Each structure stands twice: as structure tokens, then as C-alpha cells.
Structure 1
Amino acid sequence: MERAMLGVSLRDRIRNVEIRRRTRVTDIAQRVAKLMWQWAGHIVRRKDGRWGPKVLEWQPQTGKRSVGRSPTRCTYNIKRVAGSRWMQAAQNRGILNSLQKTQQWTSIGCYEGNDYICTTYLSS
């Protein structure tokens, strides 16, 4: 889509990073990861007795999922970066932001403050 906006084809051999710089469009994988971390921190910091934090701690009873269901949950990605005690770490916004940047650096291969080339998005 972005290549069509600029009238550029694959034969022109222009990297996606350069195309995104020209169009000023953010990478969707980066945006989704950032929103996931913000949402998780928002839910964990609430203290009004809602069911949100309980849902984040909930574990399915069975080990298998039905056909077509995602094998992972958003909390699995957070636990992979922050560890099993991520809910305590999420109470502090500074720690949560540093963990978010760590996840973007390792999983997506991007660094916002640098012209590092976005490699691939590993959704394991």
C-alpha cells in the first residue's frame, strides 16, 4: 500500500524503512506492541475492583485450544520480556516503558530513537 502511495515498485529496491520515512506511516507491528503494553499497564494500575486484572491472571483449564484459535495470549509476550512478576513491575510507569522498549528492540527488531532497520516481527 505504501509503495503504491509513492509509485515505487519492488524493482526499485527501496527498503521499507525508507518508504515509511517518506510516507511518515508507522509500522503496524510497533503500534500494536505499544498499545498492548499501554493497555496492560492501564489495567494493572486500576484499583477499583474491576475484573480486568483477574482476567489477566486467569489461566485456561485445558492445555489445548480449539482449531483456529491463537496459541498465545498478549500476556505471554509480556511475560517473555518482563518475567512472571510483570504485574508488580507494571505498577511503575518508568519500568513499564523501559520493558516496552526492550520488547520492541528484541521482538520486532526496531528502535524508535535510531534508524535501525526493522527486521522481522516474531510473534512467538
Structure 2
Amino acid sequence: MERSMLNITYRDRKTNIWVREKTKVTDVIEQVRRRKWTWAGQVSRIRDNRWTLRIITWKPYKRKRRKGKPVRRWRDELDDYWKGTIWQRIAQDRQMWKQHAEAFAQPRDTMAAQ
């Protein structure tokens, strides 16, 4: 779509990065990841017993899972980013949480936790 906006084709040998700079269109995935990060931080700072907090901390009943690849949950992406640390505790510190927001929003291959 962005290439058609600029009226160029792949034969013009312009990189996707160049095209993105010219169109100044923000990546939808990046926006979704930023909103997810913000929402996860807000929910983890909730102190009362709201349903949003209960959903995050809920563990499924001890049942057998279906065969095949396990379904990814929305929090699996956050768990992968923090690699073993409990991100709900880190989210209590807003400054530290905001520092990591930009790195989380980047595509997975460039994402690295400090």
C-alpha cells in the first residue's frame, strides 16, 4: 500500500525502510504493542480486586491441554520480553516501565531487555 502511495514498485529497488521514511506511516503492530504495554502497566498497578487484575493473575484449572502447539496468551509476549523476571512487580515503578516501553514496541528481532 505504501509503495502504491509513492507510485513505485519492487523493481525500483527501494528498501522498506526508505519507503516508510517517505510515507511517514507508523507501523500498526508497533502501535498495538505500545498500547498493550501501557495497559499491562496500568492493570498491574491496580490495588483492588477488579476483574482485569483477576484475569491477569488467573491460572487455568488443572486440565489436560489439547494436542498441538499451545495457544499464545497476550501476556506471553511480556513474559518473553522480561525473560523470567516478574513484570508485574517492575510495572509498579512507572519510570522504569516507561524506559522499557520503546524497546518493547520495536519488532521482535531488535527487541532486547536490559
The normalised TM-score by structure 1 is 0.72
Matched, 1:26 2:38: no
Where structure 1 has 5 or more consecutive residues not aligned to the other structure, the ranges are 111-124
**Matches of 1:26 and 1:65 in 2, distance apart?**
38
Which deviates more, 57-66 or 20-29?
57-66
* Superposed CA RMSD: 2.6
Which letter does structure 1 place at the counterpart of 2:92?
Answer: Q
Aligned mates of 2:107, 2:4 — CA distance in 1: 30
Report if aligned partners of 1:29, 1:108 keep a CA contact under 8 Å in 2. Answer: no
| Residue correspondences, number | 109
Residue 71 of structure 2 is matched in structure 1 by 71
The offset of 1:59, in angstroms, is 2.6
Q: 1:51 to 1:65 in 2, by over 3 A?
A: farther
Higher Rg: 2
Aligned to 1:80: 80
Distance 1:14 1:45, change over 3 A: same
2:43–2:52 contact (8 Å) kept in structure 1 = yes
Which stretches in structure 2 are left out of the alignment for 5+ residues? none
| Secondary structure of residue in 2 paired with 1:25 | coil
1:84: how far off?
A: 4.1
Inter-CA distance 63–23: structure 2 relative to 1 (3 Å threshold) = farther
Provide the C-alpha distance between the structure 1 equivalents of 2:101 and 2:64, rounded to a whole number of angstroms. 28
Q: Distance in 2 between matches of 1:92 and 1:107?
A: 24
Check the 8 A contact 1:45/1:90 in 2, yes or no.
yes
What is the CA-CA distance between 1:66 and the residue it aligns to? 8.7
CA distance in structure 1 between the aligned counterparts of 2:32 and 2:13, rounded to whole angstroms: 27
Offset, 1:49:
2.7
Letter in 2 for 1:98: Q
Change (3 A) 1:63 1:33: farther
Alpha-carbon distance in 2 for matches of 1:48, 1:12: 57
Percent of aligned pairs sharing the same letter: 30
Instruction: Verify: 1:8 aligned to 2:11, yes or no.
Output: no
Higher RCO by CA contacts (8 Å cutoff, separation 6 or greater): 2
TM-score by length of structure 2 reads: 0.78
